[in-house]
Amino acid sequence: MEFLTLVTAILFGLLSSSRLITAQVVDDHAILLEIAKEFSLSSWNVNQSDFCSWPGVGCSSNQSMVERLDLSRHGLQGNVTLISELRALKWLDLSSNNFHGSIPQAFGNLSLLEVLDLSFNKFESSVPVELGRLKNLRSLNLSNNYLSGVIPDELEGLEKLQEFQIYTNRLNGSIPRWVGNLTNLRSFTAYENGLSGNIPDNLGSVSELQLLNLHSNQLEGPVPESIFAMEKLEVLVLTQNKLTGSIPPSVGNCKGLSSIRIGNNELIGNIPREIGNITGLTYFEADNNNLSGEIVSEFAQCSNLTLLNLASNGFSGIIPPEFGQLSNLQELILSGNSLFGEIPITVLTCKNLNKLDLSSNRLNGTIPQEICSTSRLQYLLLSQNFVRGEIPHEIGNCIKLLELQMGSNYMTGSIPPEIGHMKNLQIALNLSFNHLRGLLPQELGRLDKLVALDLSNNQLSGNIPAALKGMLSLIEVDFSNNQLTGPIPTFVPFQKSPNSSFFGNKALCGEPLSPSCGNSNGSGNVNYHHKVSYRIILAVIGSGLAVFASVTVVVLLYMMRERQEEAAKGGVTADDETTGKPVIIAGNVFIENLRQAIDFDAAVKATMKESNKLSIGTFSTVYRADMPSGMILSVKKLRSMDRTLIHHQSKMIREVERLSKLTHANLIRPIGFIIYEDVALLLHQYYPNGTLAEFLHESSKKHEYKPDWPTRLSIAIGVAEGLAFLHHVAIIHLDISSGNVLLDSNFNPLVGEIEISKLLDPSRGTASISAVAGSFGYIPPEYAYTMQVTAPGNVYSYGVVLLEILTTRLPVDEEFGEGVDLVKWVQGAPLRGETPEQILDAKLSTVSFAWRKEMLAALKVALLCTDSTPAKRPKMKKVVEMLQEITE
Ligand SMILES: *[C@@H]1O[C@H](CO)[C@@H](O)[C@H](O)[C@H]1NC(C)=O
Ligand SMILES: *[C@@H]1O[C@H](CO)[C@@H](O)[C@H](O)[C@H]1NC(C)=O
Ligand SMILES: *[C@@H]1O[C@H](CO)[C@@H](O)[C@H](O)[C@H]1NC(C)=O
Ligand SMILES: *[C@@H]1O[C@H](CO)[C@@H](O)[C@H](O)[C@H]1NC(C)=O
Ligand SMILES: *[C@@H]1O[C@H](CO)[C@@H](O)[C@H](O)[C@H]1NC(C)=O
Ligand SMILES: *[C@@H]1O[C@H](CO)[C@@H](O)[C@H](O)[C@H]1NC(C)=O
Ligand SMILES: *[C@@H]1O[C@H](CO)[C@@H](O)[C@H](O)[C@H]1NC(C)=O
Ligand SMILES: *[C@@H]1O[C@H](CO)[C@@H](O)[C@H](O)[C@H]1NC(C)=O
Ligand SMILES: *[C@@H]1O[C@H](CO)[C@@H](O)[C@H](O)[C@H]1NC(C)=O
């Protein structure tokens, strides 16, 4: 009897449990159907009962329960609580969507969960304590949300956690001690929050911590020794906190450290000599602290060191000559310390050195003849020291230099004529506040890219040579407080300077100091004054672009760091030497039904072949890429990426993704992206009809010249509409030109290069980007002075495109004459006694009376757009209206 009961009980138990399971099976299917409905998931074929094959769904081996759910990057919003009913889930990725509200407490019921990624959403309020019940969690990623409150102590139960990412939220309170008790923790990132208090002194003590990134918080107290205890650390980022105390010598135990960034804290003491034990160190940044003592020569053992930044500390002593061994060193930044002695010759010969900033120290040596014997140097910043002696003739070897700052030193002798060899000098040449004497060399006039020249406060004598008029890019000059004599040459940048730029000289005369030099022939000056040479403006902007290009080094370093972080996070390792194939770090196709057709490797390969090159833009090069599927892509390779703007790759990816959703018939949007090594590729549809520039100016190649004004007008309206839409969504285009307008098979125009405008968003204002302003001939005159990209600036550039359409002429052309561009040429027509008809493309305007009338109306709009006063230019929306009215 008892036996029977037992059997029955067992049987019943089995039955009921199998019934339970069956119920669960039905449930998971039913829940997925509800999820599909809630999130409007069109990619799930809900009629197909085999839900395990739906995209993003992974099932248990017996195909009955959902174990994996990947709904990342779908732009989803809605009630995520539903998902918590998929009780067998082990892996849940909801990253990069638009989910908002609180993280559901019910997620705490997903007890089998090993990976939970909710990053890049808009989740708000506090982290639910229920997550602490997810005992099996290995990876928790809550970063890039709006989470607030403290990191709850209840999460202490997450003993298996290996990766813990909570960066870029609004968390406060301190880092709980239990994080230090996580024995499996490999990566912990909590940067960009409001965390305060000490870093727990047990952090990393029992785990194999590889990546610790806590930058931009309010953390105080010392850098705990514990983080070096297990000797596995690879990347340490603590920048921008309030950390005190000194750098523990045990840092030297971490042989695998590649990047240490501890700048902008309140650290004191010496840099431990053990730093030399970290032979793989590539990046050491400890600027803006209170560190002191000597700069340890042991850095020289870190043969891969690429950047060393110890600026704005209290270091004294000499610059170790051993640094000459650092053959990979690109940037050595030691400004704002108390270093003395010589500028070591060995350092100057580091063959990859790009930037040497020793300004604001007490260096009391001379400038060695070996200067620039390696010619990579672009920035040589030595101002505010006690440098003595003459400027060596060898300065002429510095042909790559963009900026030379030697102001406020004790240099003697004269300015060597070889200075004119530094043809790339653009940003500044500053020799002010020294003891230089003698004549100004004529050769200065060869520095035609130089924007700022400061020779003030020396004992220079003689005339200002007329040859200095060769400095076509000059906008800032200062010759004050010297012994100069004679007339100031008639040269716009001189006369445009404040008269203080010429004060304190022995006997200078003429504008801007005095109207004339007595008997002068200066009446012509006034006229010349107004003819601000457009060339100058162009050149200035050109220099700006070079400045931009030169931030590349830093960017590369930054990307490198990102890669190391990725690697440390357990992601893809950056090496695939065996195949020689670049390793794709990240990539995505935003359009579901194109995913199959696009092959990342083929796209990358296409960009390596010269013959695939379609065009070279200001910021990018475009390649044609034929996919194995037969699809043709246009692949844009970004030339360089700004470190501060693209704060990290993920943000950039998010930006691109957002742009992919900007739908307007006249805008080209990205359909995907690929990141490999330090390169970012943006994928676009391929438009075989080429660019508007080709259509207008290369009629022989792709297009036969057809006098077709209506097509041109509709192109003009389309471009205007695209730009009006961009302005409507608060995006300022950085590079409007006919070369960035593509034509589809119906000659519908599509404005491109929008990503650049967004990725390098100038409204976020950084020095490196404010100077970037687009293509020659399209740059509004005010950019030269304001260095600020604006909506009215866009209107100007659009006006140039419209003029191109009307005149079939290039924006800059030798034919217009010296310093005259298309805008000036058109504006100058009345003065030359030409009628507007003589400006328009006669092949079009003579076809019919109606066309001519419309073209004249469009010309009026173009002139409004290119008004030299930004405020007088119409808004883009108004431009669209005016153009549409033309045909009505
Ligand atoms: C699914 O079935 C419904 C009703 O039977 C039908 O209207 C719908 O078109 C089907 N959807 C797909 C994708 O087959
Ligand atoms: C299917 O597998 C899951 C776990 O993998 C298990 O919990 C469940 O009992 C299995 N169901 C059946 C019907 O075997
Ligand atoms: C979200 O779904 C859950 C059930 O999964 C339900 O209890 C809850 O009320 C829903 N919340 C909202 C705001 O609809
Ligand atoms: C978690 O599951 C338990 C038991 O099934 C249930 O009582 C509770 O309501 C669930 N919690 C949430 C937040 O859904
Ligand atoms: C979240 O963090 C995990 C673990 O580090 C990582 O694998 C994943 O890629 C991250 N998610 C996103 C969207 O970056
Ligand atoms: C961390 O672990 C230590 C040693 O096992 C234990 O004494 C301590 O209570 C733990 N601390 C926390 C906050 O869990
Ligand atoms: C580590 O650095 C110290 C100080 O420079 C040195 O004395 C020691 O020999 C180094 N240890 C190793 C293993 O290189
Ligand atoms: C320096 O970098 C190279 C290339 O990344 C690497 O192969 C080498 O091991 C590194 N050297 C040290 C000492 O870590
Ligand atoms: C440079 O300054 C240091 C420290 O003040 C001093 O010892 C040294 O003699 C000076 N060298 C020269 C050449 O003046």
CB-based contacts of 141-144 (< 8 A; 24+ apart in sequence): 141/95, 141/116, 141/117, 141/165, 142/103, 142/118, 142/166, 142/169, 143/119, 143/167, 143/168, 143/169, 143/189, 144/119, 144/120, 144/168, 144/169, 144/650, 144/654
798 and 661 share one domain: no
Q: Which ligand does the CA of 105 lie closest to? A: 4
Sheet holding 459-462, edge to edge: 437-439, 459-462, 483-487, 507-509
Residue that finishes a domain, picked among 643, 658, 686: 686
158 Cα to the center of ligand 6, angstroms: 13
734 and 861 share one domain: yes
60 and 90 share one domain: yes
**CA distance linking residue 135 with residue 113, whole number of Å:** 8
Asked about 761 being catalytic, the answer comes back as: no
pLDDT of residue 13: 35
Give the CATH number, domain containing residue 405: 3.80.10.10
713 and 678 share one domain: no
**CA distance linking residue 215 with residue 238, whole number of Å:** 4
Nearest CA to ligand 3 atom 5: 82
Q: Which ligand does the CA of 257 lie closest to? A: 8
pLDDT of residue 560: 34
The full DSSP string for 166-191 is --SSEE-S---GGGGG-TT--EEE--
- Crossing angle, helix 876-886 and helix 791-807, to 10 degrees? 30
Residue that finishes a domain, picked among 659, 686, 713: 686
Task: Please report the atom of ligand 8 found closest to the CA of residue 279.
Answer: 13
Upstream peptide bond of 344 is cis (omega within 30 degrees of 0): no
Instruction: Tell me which amino acid residue 878 is.
Output: K
On whether the CB atoms of residues 272 and 252 are closer than 8 A, the answer is: yes
461 and 554 share one domain: no
Give the CATH number, domain containing residue 638: 3.30.200.20
362 Cα to the center of ligand 9, angstroms: 9
In a domain, residue 746? The reply is yes
Closest by CA to 383, choosing from 399, 367, 400, 369, is 367
**CA distance linking residue 453 with residue 378, whole number of Å:** 17
Strand partners, 332: 308, 356
Say which DSSP state 812 is in.
Answer: B
pLDDT of residue 487: 93
pLDDT of residue 410: 96
In a domain, residue 62? The reply is yes
pLDDT of residue 555: 31
Residue of 20, 64, 112 with the most ligand 2 atoms within 8 Å of its CB, for mutation: 64
In a domain, residue 12? The reply is no
Task: Please report the atom of ligand 7 found closest to the CA of residue 274.
Answer: 2
705 and 629 share one domain: no
109 Cα to the center of ligand 4, angstroms: 6
Tell me if 364 CB under 6 Å of ligand 9. yes
DSSP E strand boundaries for 599-676: 613-616, 620-626, 632-638, 672-676
In a domain, residue 207? The reply is no
Q: What are phi and psi of 665, to 5 degrees?
A: -60, -15
In a domain, residue 327? The reply is no
Give the CATH number, domain containing residue 729: 1.10.510.10
Q: Report the alpha-carbon angle 522-526-532, nearest 5.
A: 125
Closest by CA to 302, choosing from 332, 282, 322, is 282
Domain interval for residue 628: 575-686
Q: How many domains does the chain have?
A: 5
769 and 834 share one domain: yes
On whether the CB atoms of residues 439 and 461 are closer than 8 A, the answer is: yes
Question: Which tokens in the block code for residue 517?
Answer: 């030099």
In a domain, residue 308? The reply is no
Residue that finishes a domain, picked among 633, 663, 686: 686
Nearest CA to ligand 8 atom 4: 304
- For residue 26, CA distances in Å to 14, 19, 64, 113, 536 come to 18, 11, 9, 21, 74
141 Cα to the center of ligand 5, angstroms: 6
Show the ligand 3 pocket: residues with CB < 6 angstroms: 79, 81-82
**CA distance linking residue 424 with residue 426, whole number of Å:** 6
pLDDT of residue 579: 44
Of the candidates 28, 478, 678, 735, the residue annotated as catalytic is 735
pLDDT of residue 754: 76
- Token pair 């709980």: residue: 176
In a domain, residue 43? The reply is yes
Instruction: Tell me which amino acid residue 664 is.
Output: H
CA torsion sign for 77, 82, 86, 90 is positive
**CA distance linking residue 154 with residue 349, whole number of Å:** 57
Q: Which ligand does the CA of 67 lie closest to? A: 2
461 Cα to the center of ligand 8, angstroms: 54
On whether the CB atoms of residues 277 and 253 are closer than 8 A, the answer is: yes
163 and 94 share one domain: yes
- Crossing angle, helix 709-728 and helix 791-807, to 10 degrees? 170
83 and 62 share one domain: yes
Tell me if 106 CB under 6 Å of ligand 4. yes
Strand partners, 679: 676
498 and 646 share one domain: no
720 and 854 share one domain: yes
Show the ligand 8 pocket: residues with CB < 6 angstroms: 279-280, 303-304
Mean pLDDT, contiguous 10-residue spans, the chain (888 residues): 37 37 62 91 82 90 89 89 94 93 96 96 95 96 95 94 94 96 95 95 92 94 95 93 96 94 96 95 94 97 93 97 92 95 91 91 94 82 96 92 93 96 88 96 91 93 93 86 94 85 90 74 33 31 32 31 38 38 78 83 89 76 87 80 46 74 86 80 87 82 74 95 88 85 89 68 33 66 66 93 94 83 90 84 85 92 92 93 89
In a domain, residue 337? The reply is no
437 and 425 share one domain: yes
Q: Report the alpha-carbon angle 549-351-381, nearest 5.
A: 60
**CA distance linking residue 283 with residue 326, whole number of Å:** 12
Chain centroid, CA 806 distance in Å: 36
